[in-house]
Structure 1
Amino acid sequence: MPAPRLSVVVTRRLPEVVETRMKELFDVTLRETDDKMTREELVAAMQRADVLVPTLTDHIDANMLAAAGNRLRLIANFGAGVDHIDVASARSRNVLVANTPGVVTEDTADMVMSLILAVTRRIPEGLAGMARGDWQGFAPMANLGGRIGGKRLGIIGMGRIGQAVARRAAAFGMEIHYHNRRQLRPETEAELKATFWDSLDQMVARMDVISVNCPHTPSTFHLLNARRLKLMKPSVVIVNTSRGEVIDENALVRALKAGEVAGAGLDVYEHGANINPALRELPHVVALPHMGSATREGRIEMGEKVILNIKTFADGHRPPDLVVPGML
């Protein structure tokens, strides 16, 4: 007699091909709308599921896990970041946590370069002027931006995405610099033509463009705070496609308004969708709605990784993308 299928609850809408495959493999409850679940809905979902498939909008803390009961055995996160999940509490309750690393690397790196170009070349301002009907023809001094070739790019966090950004930026003629918890291997540094800075303060003071590509952890919260923003050149452009909490958002707004930072390209925000209104209004800020990994191909690959993690677990093996507290 075949073993009963795992009960799986999915918290958000996923690509149709992913949902269809889940229905074939598991006893799955899909989300009919794309609204995020309330705290109460998440607890109820964990109480009735063997496996929960959340995403970064689902904040799962120790109290929620305690209220979930003993049925839940795996949290198969749809996404690479797991800072919205109390992984240590989950493991203490014998609940495994898995994620989907590596899938969004190329898509996010593409978005970094898009934001660098959008801010430095003032593309949104040009689009807005065209939409208003302001353009009257070519003028030598109109809409002047800056070149990125020859500029210094400082990458904060030189993991998969940081290295993918470095490769793209080098093709545009940028000088590659980076700050990371650990220095890369010499052969990787040589391939990327990247210069390591042990001191973040010294690096940010000398860069023309800064790209934030590190995860949000207790040690990276407000890594770019008011003090570090004041170390930067007034001509600096800051791009963040990682986690909003890495930058002190209010301090960034003050620096932008004071002319202490020339521009910013942002895809993530400190308080999620509750964005500082100034970031929507300042002309030298490009603010996107967390689109860094938003490609059809990427979302399907993420779903395939989630399915593989669940299927491997169902077969009695360790999920290939298991997250342990020591990794964080």
Structure 2
Amino acid sequence: MPSPAHFATVTLSLRRLAIDYGLLILLAGVVAVFAVAEPAFLRVSNLFSILQAVAIVALLGLGVTVTMIAGGFDLSVGGLAAFVQMAAAYSLVVLDGSTGSTLLLCLGLGILVGLGNAVLIVRLGIPDLLATLGMLFLLAGLQLVPTGGRSIAPGMILIDGSVAQGTFNDAFLALGRHRFWDILPVPVLVLAVVAAALWLVMEWTRFGRVFYAVGGNELAARLAGAPTQLYRVSAYVISALVASIGGILLAARIGRGDVSAGNGLMLDAVAAALIGHAVLGANRPNILGTVVGAVFVGVLLNGLTMLNAPYYLQDLIKGAVLIGALTVTYGLAPRRA
């Protein structure tokens, strides 16, 4: 008969398995269920459609993750992405700008917003949640000013009564719509490159290790000689730069400046970053986990859509997944003395 010690060992092993691989096992199970219920789910085209659908949210989630690694939090990523997609549309349609100038403008705006967040948080000492929430509202209102609250489309009538002469050119639209080999969407490739770069930096370089040190104990990192303020500023600039890339891809995908395009992006990005805590038992913000978290939610929503589930279940499912992931991460983790 197994001894109590044996039962305790088995229980501990199962708990460790649930913490480390629970989310991945659940993801595999969900994929299997959807594949049985709807064989078309596993088609390569549908799998890449899922990745394309979550690419922008995942990018924004990566930005949030970088700030979390440094001990902060960025709520402005959704507002910045929406602001950038309106700025891109304004540059192309109203100013009749080129693809190159539009990209430089959008990335420059992202860097400025990141520096603005850093000034508010690092220099002025405003709590990160309050500062970035304020920036979120500021950007949401600012994007409406140039057009009087209207969306931007080729041929629109401007505030001064003139007609916009520009348009979304093919080179810019390709950033959101082109598929390599008729399979791989550009946004998915961009996500893969950005995620791989951030993962390598955060997990395998001294720069990344100091980032985690600053987030874990800023005072100890500063006493060890790390320029903690510079790292915190860098985190918000990186977050904003990645969010601006997401805004560019969003504009290229929809082909217009839509005033409602950013609705829900911030909440989805934060959810992906938080779900990522449960991947491989990291119990901390991490790049790989954020991508897996975004894909997990995308798989659920895509599968339910293919099964004709009501649209109003989406937020319910997102909330259930987030609570489940956090329960696995914190509820099953060993208690600290």
Could you tell me the TM-score, scaled by structure 1's length? Answer: 0.28
Of Structure 1 and Structure 2, which has the larger fraction of its residues in strand? 1
